């Protein structure tokens, strides 16, 4: 990959929670210097890691963040905002918010994004990588950061709605989740635009 001369930082961006029936969509970014990026160890995509390994990587990210060796940011868009503006615009908004939180000059960043994600146009150096969370470590780290935080939030919501199993399925459309929906109806954290037949 040819790196533009103005680039000082490499930013990995990924989202989690695009498809669930409930809860927010969360985007995370992990940023390191160009020198650190070139030496990063291989990390698997968050979906392929056990909960214990994701928690281990979260602790490592926090340690490196506290040492000033990397920067992490995240943003979530609520289920009500997703219903209002749609999931595509919600993800775009979360990406923009997340990158803004890093507070780095856009021209100095090479932004690597997973799947079909794009950074705002003021980031001139960006590349979307299909299955980037499996092939590019900095994206995998962003994937872990996003998933750990969103999963923890859904586990917290499970205490408010204990009969829905959010701590198990994290809002995704599993058989367990649909059974709870048929039995109990929708909660305030459900995406009504995803559940029009039940809303």
**Residue 104: inside a domain:** yes
What is the per-residue DSSP string for 4-44?
Answer: PTT--EEEEEEEE-SS-SBS-EEEEEEEEEHHHHTTPPP--
3-state SS class at 135: helix
16 pLDDT higher than 90: yes
Per the structure, the count of domains in the chain is 1
* CATH number of the domain that residue 42 is part of: 3.30.420.10
Angstrom distances, CA of residue 196 to CA of 21, 56, 112, 186? 11, 39, 35, 11
What is the per-residue DSSP string for 55-119?
Answer: HHHHHHHHHHHHTTS-EEEEEEE-HHHHHHH-HHHHHHHHHHHHHHHH---GGGEEEEEETT---
Looking at per-residue pLDDT, the higher value among 58 and 29 belongs to: 29
Q: What is the pLDDT of residue 179?
A: 96
Element (H, E) at 134: helix 132-135
> Per-residue confidence at 11, pLDDT binned at 50, 70, 90?
very high
**Residue 38: inside a domain:** yes
- How many other CB atoms sit within 10 Å of the CB of residue 52? 8
46 pLDDT higher than 60: no
43 pLDDT higher than 80: no
> What are the pLDDT digits (tens) for 100-147?
999 999 999 999 999 999 999 999 999 999 988 888 999 999 999 999
> Per-residue confidence at 49, pLDDT binned at 50, 70, 90?
low
Provide the 8-state DSSP code for 197.
Answer: T
**Residue 170: inside a domain:** yes
Q: What is the pLDDT of residue 50?
A: 67
Burial group, residue 188, by CB count within 10 angstroms (0-12, 13-18, 19+): exposed
**Residue 110: inside a domain:** yes
Q: What is the pLDDT of residue 170?
A: 96
Angstrom distances, CA of residue 166 to CA of 97, 103, 114, 161, 178? 26, 33, 26, 8, 12
- Determine contact, residues 189/24, Cβ cutoff 8 Å: no
**Residue 1: inside a domain:** no
pTM: 0.91
Radius of gyration of the chain (CA): 17
How open is the CA angle 21-167-65, to the nearest 5 degrees?
Answer: 100
In DSSP terms, which residues pair with 29 in a beta bridge? 13, 73
**Residue 152: inside a domain:** yes
**Residue 102: inside a domain:** yes
Looking at per-residue pLDDT, the higher value among 84 and 63 belongs to: 84
Look up the domain containing 151 and give its range: 9-194
192 pLDDT higher than 60: yes
> Per-residue confidence at 163, pLDDT binned at 50, 70, 90?
very high
Q: Chain-wide mean pLDDT for the chain?
A: 91
């Amino acid at each position: 990959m040819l790196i533009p001369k103005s680039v000082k930082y490499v930013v990995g961006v990924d989202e989690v929670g695009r498809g669930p029936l409930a809860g927010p969509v969360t985007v995370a970014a992990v940023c390191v210097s160009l020198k650190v990026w070139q030496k990063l160890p291989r990390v698997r995509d968050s979906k392929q890691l056990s909960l214990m390994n994701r928690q281990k990587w979260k602790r490592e990210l926090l340690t490196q963040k506290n040492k000033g060796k990397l920067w992490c940011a995240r943003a979530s868009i609520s289920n009500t905002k997703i219903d209002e503006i749609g999931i595509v615009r919600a993800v775009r908004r979360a990406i923009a918010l997340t990158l803004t939180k890093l507070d780095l000059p856009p021209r100095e960043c090479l932004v690597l994004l997973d799947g079909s994600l794009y950074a705002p146009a003021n980031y001139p150096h960006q590349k979307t990588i299909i299955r980037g969370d499996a092939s590019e470590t900095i994206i995998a780290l962003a994937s872990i950061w996003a998933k750990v935080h969103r999963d923890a939030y859904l586990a917290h919501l499970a205490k408010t709605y204990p009969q829905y199993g959010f701590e198990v399925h994290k809002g995704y459309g599993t058989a367990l989740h649909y059974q709870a929906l048929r039995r109990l109806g929708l909660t305030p954290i459900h995406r009504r635009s995803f559940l029009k037949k039940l809303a």
